[in-house]
Amino acid sequence: MKKRANIIVSGRVQGVFFRVYAKQKAEKLKLIGWIRNVPNGQVEIVAEGEEKDLKDLIKQCYNGPSGAKIEEVTVEWGNYKGEFNEFKVLV
């Protein structure tokens, strides 16, 4: 079943290649959407795809790349909208 997840990752997640890490994981899982840095130091992800794959991406967010220190991952689930064609890193 396809779903949408809005994921907020807090901690030391900017400047440690977290966006590249998450993009690679999302593409491997065939998810679509985007990831961006938030001015408050968090990273925001909006991803769509199969629910099991979204859950796998969320698990990977708790790990992060080697320089990251994850403090919290929050998820808001929503309905699949099909508005994306790929997974992008927003600047």
Domain boundaries, the chain: 2-81
Q: Give the helix/strand (H/E) hosting 19.
A: helix 18-28
pLDDT tens per residue, range 10-60: 999 999 999 999 999 999 999 999 999 999 999 999 999 999 999 999 999
Is the domain 2-81 a CATH 3.30.70.100 member?
Answer: yes
Which residues of 13-86 form beta strands (DSSP E)?
A: 32-37, 43-50, 69-79
pTM reported for the whole predicted model: 0.96
Which residue bears the tokens 């491997």?
Answer: 28
Residue positions annotated with a catalytic role = 19, 37
Q: CB under 8 Å to 71, separation ≥6 — which residues?
A: 10, 11
Q: Which pLDDT score, from 0 to 100, does residue 91 have?
A: 87
Q: For tokens 């994306």, what's the residue?
A: 84
